[in-house]
Structure 1
C-alpha cells in the first residue's frame, strides 16, 4: 500500500477538492482490493496494511475526505535555514579533534563548540558509524549536525560569538496493520509468514503467556489475529509499534486482548470484559523452555533411583539461561539447600510461595529480604545439587501445600478501574469488531479464490 510521506521534496499541485475526493475514493477501493489479494506462498496467513485510525465500517466517502485532508495538511514546511553540508562518518578511535581536523577545523573550534549552550555534552558520546555534518562558510563553522539515529540529531548553530545546541527529533508516523495466521509447527514460523517481526511475535506471546504455555500447550491448527502498529519515517518502517488488539485460539479456546492506556496507570492488556490479561503469576519462569519432567508425587528419582515425590516441574534449558520471578514477591531464601543445590524461594503475600532450584548462579541483588518484580531475572539455569544436567526445578505452593505449576489456577491481577470502565468497553467493542471484520474479509477472499 502506498504511504503518504510528510517529507516531499517538491510542492504538490493544487487540484479542486471534489476531484481530490473522487480520486481518493477510487484509490481507497483499489487499496482495499489489492491488500486483500492473497500472496502466492501464504494460504493460511495474510497481512493487510491500513491507514491509521480508520475503522473498517467507515463509509468510503468519509475515508476519501480523511485522505484528502491528510494530503492537504502534509504540505512540507519551508526550512528555516539551509546549509551546504559536509558529511563525516565517525571512525573507530575518533575524537572530536580528529573529525574537526579532517574538515579543516582546529582545536579552538572544538573548544568553542563544547563551550556552547544546550546539550553540547552529547558530543562526548560519539560512536563509530554515526554521522557528523559540518556547514563551513569562509573557513568558519556556522553549523554542526550530530546525527545520532534516524530520528534523533543534535543541531548546533552559531549565534553571534557563541554556539547553541538544540535536539531535533523527527516524529514517527504510526500505520495500523492487521495480520493473521494458523500454526502448523510453531508460533514463530506462522508469525513470520504473516509478516510479523521477531519482536512483535515475542510481544504477542507475552500478552497471552499467562493463559497459554507456548511450549507445552501449542497445537497444530491454533491460530492468531492481531491489529498492530508500525512506526514509519519518510515512508519507510523504522520500528514496530504497539499491539492494539489480538486474539489467540489454543485447542479450541479463544483468548482476546485489548490494549488500554490511562494517564495514571500506563498501558496494559485486558479482556473485552475489562479483566486483566496479566495474572498475578507467570505460567512459566523460563521463556520457551521444554518441560523435561512433570509434577509427579510418585516419581522415581533419576539420581537416587528411589520413589520420591517430584513436587515441581523441570524445565530443560542451556546453562546460563535467565530465570524469571513468576510473580511480585520477597526473597525469603537464597542459598544452597541440600539436593536443590543453589535455590531461591519467593514469598508472594500470605498465600503463595515459589521455589527455583539447581541454579548456576543468582542474579545481582537477589538475596534474602530483597523485593523482586514479576518477570525480573533472579538467577540462571545450572545443575547444582542432585541434577543430571542443566535445568530449572520449579515449585508452586498455595497456603503451604504444593501444587502442580502447570495446572494450578492462577489469580488475576487488578481489572480495569471503575472510572475507566465505560471508556474501555467502548474501545474494546470497536477493536473486537475490527478483528472480526478483517477476519471475515480475509475468509471471503479465500472462498472467492477457491471458486476461480
Structure 2
C-alpha cells in the first residue's frame, strides 16, 4: 500500500477512536444520574398493594441518667378563687399541711388571711417533698408580702417593688354596642362603666347610640414591676354622638372631692339621672290609661318599666334619704327615696335590697340601692320606676329635673390648671382612628 494512503487511513482510525472515546465517556458519566432518577420512580401500572410491609426494630443505647438526690425546687402559682380560704389556696400549691399551719401562724400572713381577695396571686417555692422555701402574696394597693423560711419558722416582709401609675389613652368606634366597641379597643369594663355613667346625664345609651359614633378615653392603670395590677379611674373622655361631641374632665377640689365637668367648667352631675339602670330597654311607658297585664282592666301606669335581667343593679337617680324599704302590695319589694324640693322616686318589683338600705339612710346619686326582680304584681323581671313631685306621679322620661350648682368662681383657676392637659389630649385623639395609644 502506498505510504500516502496508509497515513490517511491511520489518521481516520485515530479520529474514529477519539470520537468513540468521547461518546463512551459521556455515556458512562450519565449512568449514575439515570440510576438516581430510576431509584425514585415506579413503572406505570405497578401494583403496590401486594407489597408486604416489614417492621425493622433497632436497639438504641440510651445515656445513663445521673441522680441529683432530689435537691431541686419547684415554682408554683395559685389564684384566690371565690369561696377560698387562705389554707385552701395554699394546699393547691402542694405545700405540706404542717408547713401551712406554721405559715398561717406568721404575723403578716395571719393578718392577710382575714381579708383575702378573689383574683390575687400566690407564688410559692417548695422542695420536692412540699417543704416551703419562700412564698409571695399579692396584695391590693400595697407591695406584695414575701415570706421566707427562717430557722424553724417563717419571717414576713414587704417586697421591694416598683409601683407606678400610668396614664393610658384609647379611642374606638361604635359598630354594634358600647361594650363591644370598648372591648375591641382594649378598654377595661370598669372604665367603660365610668364613661357610661358620667355621660348618662347628657346621653341615653339605650336610645341615642348610633353606628359610627366615636369615643376617646384617658384613664390610669396601676403597675407593679412593669405588670398591670389594677385599673384606676377615668380622667377625661369624649363621646361624639351623631356628630355632636360631648367632653368630660375630672376635677378635684381643695378638699379632695372629685367630680366630672365639661372643659368649660359646667357640672355634669344633675339633680337626677334620667334612668336608674345602666343599660336596659323601656317595656312599658308612662300612661294615664293602660290595660294591666295581670288584672286585665285599664288603669293609670304611674311610672316607666325598664326590662332587665334579675339581679341587675338599681341606682339612686339623685342624692336622697330612704323614706321606705320593704314590701308593699303590688309593688312587691319597694324603695322610696325622698329628694329635695318635694321630689320622690319609687323603685319597685325588686329581687333584693342593697346592704344597709333602710328607712332614714342617706344615699348618693348613682349609689346601688337594690336589684331588679319580679316581686309583687309582675309578669317578669323588670324595674318599675316612678318620679313624684308634691305627691303626684310625673312622666320620668319627660319631667323637668333640677340641676346641680355650677363650679364656684373661686375654683376656676384651679380647675383650668388641672384639666387643661386632659382637654389638649382629647383634642389630639379626636378624629383619629387610634385603637390604643399608651
TM-score with structure 2 length normalisation? 0.66
| CA shift for structure 1 position 364 | 4.0
**Counterpart among 122, 134, 156 of residue 130 in structure 1:** 122
Q: In 2, are the aligned partners of 1:175 and 1:232 still within 8 Å (CA)? A: yes
The Cα of 1:95 is off from its aligned counterpart by: 4.8
Aligned partners of 1:231, 1:330: CA distance in 2, in Å? 35
Pair 309,157 (structure 1): closer, same or farther in 2 beyond 3 Å = same
Q: How many residues align?
A: 352
Which is further off, 409-418 or 352-361? Answer: 409-418
CA distance in 2, matches of 1:305, 1:95: 58
- 1:425 is displaced (CA, Å) by 1.5
In the alignment, the residues of structure 1 paired with residue 410 and residue 389 of structure 2 have an alpha-carbon distance, to the nearest angstrom, of: 33
1:286-329 superposed Cα distances (whole Å, 9 cap, x missing partner) = 22111101222243333344442222110112233332222222
> Which secondary structure does the structure 2 equivalent of 1:358 belong to?
strand
Does residue 147 (structure 1) correspond to residue 147 (structure 2)? The answer is: no
Deviation at 1:169, TM superposition (A): 6.2
Spell out, residue by residue over 1:28-81, the C-alpha distance to the aligned partner (whole angstroms, 9 max, x if none): xxxxxxxxxxxxxxxxxxxxxxxxxxxxxxxxxxxxxxxxxxxxxxxxxxxxxx
Could you tell me how far 1:114 is from its partner in structure 2?
6.8
Deviation at 1:94, TM superposition (A): 8.1
Check 1:232–1:370 CA distance in 2 against 1; reply closer, same or farther (3 A cut). closer
How far residue 284 of structure 1 moved from its aligned partner, in angstroms, is 1.5
1:29-428 equivalences under 5 Å are 87=75, 89=77, 95=87, 119-122=108-111, 124=113, 130-133=122-125, 144-148=134-138, 152-156=143-147, 165-168=156-159, 170-262=161-253, 264-428=255-419
Q: CA RMSD in A?
A: 4.0
Q: Which runs of 5+ in 1 are unaligned?
A: 1-83, 444-452
C-alpha distance in 2 between matches for 1:442 and 1:318: 35
C-alpha displacement of 1:393: 0.8
- Cα displacement (A) at 1:163: 6.6
Shift of 1:395: 0.5
The 1:357/1:246 distance shift into structure 2, 3 A limit, reads same
Q: What stretches of structure 2 of length at least 5 have no aligned partner?
A: 1-71
Tell me how far apart the structure 2 counterparts of residues 94 and 379 of structure 1 sit (CA, whole Å). 31
How far apart are 1:442 and its partner, in Å?
A: 5.0
Q: Which residue of 1 aligns with 2:429?
A: 438
Q: For the structure 1 residues 86 and 267, does the alpha-carbon distance in structure 2 shift closer, same or farther, using more than 3 Å as the test?
A: farther
TM-score using structure 1 length? 0.65
Report the Cα distance in structure 1 between the residues aligned to 2:233 and 2:353, rounded to whole angstroms: 33
Q: 1:399, 1:154 → 2: CA distance?
A: 57
